[in-house]
Structure 1
Amino acid sequence: MISVLLVEDQQLFREGVHALIATVDDMDVVGMASNGEEATQLMKKSQADIVIMDIHMPNVDGIKATIHLKDNYPSVKVILLTTFAEEDLIITGLAAGADGFLLKSLDRARLIRSIRDVYDDQVVLSGEAAKILATMIVDIKYNKKDLLEKKLVNRNINLSNRELDIAYLMMNGSTNKLIAQKLFLSEGTIKNYISELYNKLNLRSRKDVIDFLLELISKKSYR
């Protein structure tokens, strides 16, 4: 039996999750708290296997409570819940020792599956959180412009440094005027470079170029 402690300051949501878990044969809610301080007190009595906890709560929030729980109960698993996937929250939560990061909009099946997965020592992330982490990993390992150059070279497309600068700025939504200002060139010169990009990429429009570059940089292979 997987014992679960629910920590959520919104009573309706807390009771809703309780009702869902109550329908599952191999899970049992052993306590409910409205903030992190209450959770740490209840943990002494319940010794729950899994703590499902909101991040934003009064008194002691989910991040601080996670740190306390992990320090005092190393075997406990913590799944953090939040309304939005924000980069700072994801990093801070995982650094605090959380075993999962899910959005409150998840459905019943995903919640139950996530509890079982975390109980089996897996880390669970919402799709949004996973995308944010994946993007961060790429950004850390590679400067995006360097990554773009590597991807182009792999396609046997060799751009000059100036063409690469312009391609990168186009990919990130800069207008010709803004590109010209950033690179200290005239708009006419930028247009000439972009025409050369069309030729080298064998594409006909700005949209085609941007779509191609975005698709290229999103590929999983970074070599």
Structure 2
Amino acid sequence: MINVLLIEDQRLFSEGIQAVINREVDLQVTAVATNHKDAIHKINEQHIDVVLIDVHLRHIEGIKMTLGVKERYPAIKVILLTTTVDEDLVINGLNVGADGFLLISLYAENLIRAVRDAYNGQVVLSGDVAKILAKKDLQFNKKQILAQHLEHRNIQFSCREIDIAYLLMEGYSNKVIAQKLYLNVGTIKNYISDIYSELDMRNRVEVIEYLDGLLDRNR
């Protein structure tokens, strides 16, 4: 039997998920929690295999909840549920150890399959979430190529500088870059100033044109 803890503070949605899971012979919602403290208490009291977490909980972010569960109980599988596909939310959720990320709008049979697959060690993703990861993989490859081109010119960027350089090339403002990297705007400005110095350039336009030119050589 796969024992599931559901962390959800919307009663109607909670009851719907319980009904879907509890009709299966090999699955059961063993406990329901509405907040972090209650969830940890339930895990300590009962044997839990899989945790389903609404990423949009009102009193605590689902990402923080995931981190708390995985730090204390790394063997437990955690699947995040979301109403919308947000790139930063997906990446952050997987980075803190989530074993899956699913859209709430998925069919009941897909939820059941995902719980079983996560229990068996697979990463479970809705189609739209998988597309985001494919896009991120492409971005990662571009960053690697950019770093290699710079290194060939004896320019050593740190990993953070590569991240910022790539986002500059994508046309993002300092404020948006700061939000994406969870840094303050002042820190981003300092990094960009360092990038200017390392490239011996004076402004954003020069830097972007130069970096774009490096990647163009690889196309």
TM-score range, shorter chain: 0.5 to 0.7
Match of 1:83 in 2: 83
Question: Quick one: distance in 2 between partners of 1:36 and 1:85?
Answer: 23
**Identical aligned residues as a percent:** 48
Query: What amino acid does structure 2 have at the position aligned with 1:129?
Result: V
Report 1:68-79 matches (<5 A): 68-79=68-79
Question: Quick one: distance in 2 between partners of 1:40 and 1:27?
Answer: 21
Match of 2:9 in 1: 9
SS at match of 2:52: strand
| Cα contact 1:37–1:59 (8 A) shared by 2 | no
Report 1:159-198 matches (<5 A): none
SS at match of 1:139: helix
| Cα contact 1:40–1:69 (8 A) shared by 2 | yes
In structure 1, the gaps of 5 or more residues are: 147-181, 183-221
TM-score using structure 1 length: 0.63
**Which structure has the larger Rg?**
1
Question: Quick one: distance in 2 between partners of 1:112 and 1:51?
Answer: 13
Match of 1:118 in 2: 118
Instruction: Write out per-residue CA displacement over residues 59-88 of structure 1, whole angstroms, 9 at most, x where no aligned residue.
Output: 222111111111111110000001011001
Report 1:1-223 matches (<5 A): 1-142=1-142
Question: Quick one: distance in 1 between partners of 2:96 and 2:19?
Answer: 28
TM-score using structure 2 length: 0.64
Instruction: Write out per-residue CA displacement over residues 149-201 of structure 1, whole angstroms, 9 at most, x where no aligned residue.
Output: xxxxxxxxxxxxxxxxxxxxxxxxxxxxxxxxx9xxxxxxxxxxxxxxxxxxx
Aligned length: 148
| Cα contact 1:49–1:119 (8 A) shared by 2 | yes
Give 1:142 deviation, angstroms: 2.3
Query: What amino acid does structure 2 have at the position aligned with 1:43?
Result: I
Question: Quick one: distance in 1 between partners of 2:35 and 2:55?
Answer: 9
In structure 2, the gaps of 5 or more residues are: 147-204, 206-217
Give 1:140 deviation, angstroms: 2.0
Question: Quick one: distance in 1 between partners of 2:82 and 2:35?
Answer: 14
Cα RMSD of the aligned pairs, angstroms, is 2.1
